[in-house]
């Protein structure tokens, strides 16, 4: 009897469609968010992460219509993120049906938001998302809108101190590449963490799931693997279970 390792599909939306990025850059338009969400609901996935990747860049509010529609028929936990800048934004997302919200850019611009949000909504509802890249052999934070030079593990500590309930780590250079995860970094951050860590970036096979599943990560998040291969979340979990990793199979 113990907490299960989670397999969490990430669905990226750009305000109109589901998209998949490669290294946070190139994009493929994959169609209707409702279709994708219902597919994952059918699969009884552990959770779903929905990220509006244009909201920050274009300065608009997160796509509430889509969140509402997806949440309506989703009986699994839903984390929503993208362009959440204020407490009002977070409240709107939660009222639209999100169980947890993911904050990224805003935590860099004004770190206080984490503390305030955790105070109001409970830290268990607040996921801090961090995008990381490797520069000169060192893992550091990557931001689309701010110029920042900050060590990844240092930043993790700050996020935890400020009340993040969970941290979602996205490895930019592995994103969408289908070439495997940054396993060493995943191990480092898993061991350094005090809160649950969800790893995302490059997971492309059941072997990758098993490798990461053996680390003290709370869950693995992935996207390309489900859009572009025949693998489903259940396939990944069955392989992990066979390798002795505790996952939810019912």
Partner 1 sequence: MITYCHECIIPNSRPEQTFTNGVCDACHSSKVKHSSVNWEARRTEFESLLEKYRGDGQNYDCIIPVSGGKDSCSQALIMRDEFNMNPLCVSHTPCELTEIGLKNLNFLRDQGFDLIQVSANRKNYRELVRVGFFKLGDCCWPEHVGIFTAPIRVAVNYRIPLLIWGENSQFEYGGPASRKDNPVLDRNWLEQFQMSGYRISDLTNDGINLNDIKTFIYPSDDELNNVGVTGLYLGHYTKWDSKENADRVIELGWSTNPDGPIEGAYNDIENLDCKWIGGLHDYMKFIKYGYGRATDQLCIEIRAGRMTRSQAIEARCQSSEGKVPWKYIPDFLDYLDITEHDFFENLDQFTNKRLFEKDLQGALLKDNSGNLRPLFNPT
Partner 2 sequence: MIGVIDYGSGNFTSVCNAIRSLGLEYVAVSTPDDLESATHLILPGVGAYNDCVDTLKEKGLFRPLQKITTSGEKFFLGICVGHQILSDFGTEFSCGEGFGAISGNTVKIKVENDDRLPHIGWNNVSFSPSSSLFRNIDQGATFYFVHSYQLMPKAPENIIAWTHHSSKITAAVRLNNCFGVQFHPEKSQKNGLQLLLNFSELK
Q: Which residues are catalytic?
A: 131
Both structure tokens of 207: 């072997």
Region binding partner 2 by CB under 8 A among candidate stretches 2-10, 29-37, 135-143, 170-178: 2-10
Compose the 32-61 pattern: x for residues touching partner 1 by CB under 8 A, - for all others.
x-xxx-xx--xxx-----------------
Told to check if 25 binds partner 2 by CB under 8 A, we report no
Which residue has 């701010």 as its token pair?
A: 146
Residue closer to partner 2, measured from CB, 188 or 195: 195
Query: Min. distance of Cβ 209 from partner 2 in angstroms?
Result: 16
Q: Is 207 within 8 Å of 187 (Cβ atoms)?
A: no
Residue selected from 36, 219, 226, 233 as contacting partner 2 according to rule CB under 8 A: 219
Which residues from 78-97 bind partner 2, rule CB under 8 A?
94-97
Contacts of 42 (CB under 8 A, 6+ apart): none
Size of the site for partner 2 (CB under 8 A): 39
Residue selected from 61, 123, 170, 211 as contacting partner 2 according to rule CB under 8 A: 123
Residue closer to partner 1, measured from CB, 124 or 229: 229
* DSSP string of 21-47, one letter each residue: EETTTEEEEEE-HHHHHHHHHHTT-S-
Percentages (nearest 5) of helix, strand, coil residues in the chain: 40, 25, 35
* DSSP string of 141-207, one letter each residue: E--SSS----BHHHHHHHHHHTT-SEEEEEEGGGTTT-S---HHHHHHHHHH-SS-EEEES---SHH
Residue selected from 12, 15, 165, 237 as contacting partner 1 according to rule CB under 8 A: 15
Instruction: Round to whole Å and give the CA distance between 113 and 87.
Output: 8
What number of residues does the chain have?
Answer: 250
Told to check if 125 binds partner 1 by CB under 8 A, we report no
Size of the site for partner 1 (CB under 8 A): 29
Told to check if 226 binds partner 1 by CB under 8 A, we report yes
For 59, the enclosing helix (H) or strand (E) is: none
Instruction: Round to whole Å and give the CA distance between 2 and 197.
Output: 17
Told to check if 43 binds partner 2 by CB under 8 A, we report no
Both structure tokens of 47: 């959770």
Query: Min. distance of Cβ 203 from partner 2 in angstroms?
Result: 18
Residue selected from 25, 75, 136, 184 as contacting partner 2 according to rule CB under 8 A: 75
Which residue ranges make up the site for partner 2 (CB under 8 A)?
A: 1-4, 6, 44, 46, 71-73, 75-77, 94-100, 119-125, 165-166, 193-197, 216, 218-219, 248, 250
Which residue ranges make up the site for partner 1 (CB under 8 A)?
A: 15-17, 28-32, 34-36, 38-39, 42-44, 63, 65-66, 69, 72-73, 226-230, 232, 234
């Amino acid at each position: 009897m113990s907490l299960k390792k989670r397999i969490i599909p990430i669905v990226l939306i750009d305000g109109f469609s589901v998209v998949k990025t490669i290294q946070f850059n190139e994009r493929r338009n994959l169609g209707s968010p409702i279709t994708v969400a219902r597919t994952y609901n059918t699969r009884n996935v552990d959770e779903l992460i929905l990220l509006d990747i244009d909201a920050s860049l274009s300065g608009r509010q997160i796509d509430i219509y889509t969140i509402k529609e997806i949440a309506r028929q989703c009986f699994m936990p839903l984390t929503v993120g993208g362009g959440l800048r204020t407490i009002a934004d977070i409240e709107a997302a939660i009222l639209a049906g999100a169980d947890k919200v993911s904050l990224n850019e805003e935590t860099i611009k004004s770190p206080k938001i984490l503390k305030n949000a955790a105070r109001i909504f409970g830290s268990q509802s607040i996921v801090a998302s961090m995008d990381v890249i490797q520069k000169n052999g060192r893992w550091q934070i990557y931001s689309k809108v701010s110029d920042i030079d900050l060590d990844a593990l240092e930043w993790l500590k700050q996020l935890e101190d400020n009340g993040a309930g969970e941290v979602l780590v996205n490895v930019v250079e592995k994103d969408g590449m289908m070439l495997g995860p940054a396993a060493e970094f995943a191990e480092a951050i898993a061991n350094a963490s005090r809160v649950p860590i969800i790893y995302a970036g490059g997971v492309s096979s059941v072997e990758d799931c098993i490798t990461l599943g053996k680390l003290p990560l709370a869950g693995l998040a992935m996207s390309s693997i489900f859009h572009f291969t025949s693998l489903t979340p259940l396939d990944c979990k069955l392989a992990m279970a066979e390798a002795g990793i505790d996952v939810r199979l019912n």
